[in-house]
Amino acid sequence: MNPNRDSQVLEFLRQQQVPYRLLLQQEAAVTIAAAAILRGVRPAQMVKCILLRDMRERYALACVPGDLSVDPKKVRSYLGWKRMTCATRDQVLQVTGYAVGAVPPLQLKTPMPILFDPKITQEPEITISSGHLYASIAMQVNDLVQLVQPSLISIHREPLFD
């Protein structure tokens, strides 16, 4: 697949006439720190999307800046669901249509609640996955929020030490 042309996310952005920059990578990154270096951005500018599921097989996409972690208890509390855990690799692909590490908050295969931590909006320009492990998308955060229409709720895990 060619990340320049084959991404349904890129096609969606073109249809919506949303400006973006495609950031191509020579290799797939396995950590946020590595991805930030490959993209030439700070981890705080990256939107990390974590698929969570509850005991009734309901799913939610929890999104935080790349330098933070998702607190499943906060997501569960907001949604009023029971125990939530991270989805498996197979579930991520089946439910979102994207591989782990390439999940954007747009064009998901399955409709579900999407939650953004408000700290995402502190960066004017952010990056999201394009649906490919070798490419990401830089865009204005306001455009992303407008397209996704997420619930804005504090869902990041508080650091143990300051």
Q: Is residue 128 classed as helix, strand or coil in its secondary structure?
A: strand
What confidence score (pLDDT) does residue 28 get? 81
Residue 83 has pLDDT above 60, yes or no: yes
Taking the CB of residue 118, how many other CB atoms lie within 10 A of it?
12
Residue 7 pLDDT > 90: no
**Ramachandran angles phi, psi of 71, nearest 5°:** -105, 100
- What are the pLDDT digits (tens) for 27-55? 887 788 888 888 899 999 999 999 999 99
Q: The tokens of 136 are what?
A: 């990401």
Q: Residue range 127-155: average pLDDT?
A: 96
pLDDT of amino acid 85? 95
* pLDDT score at 1: 47
Mean residue pLDDT of the chain comes to 92
Residue range 88-93: mean pLDDT, rounded: 97
Cα 118 to Cα 44: distance, rounded to the nearest angstrom: 12
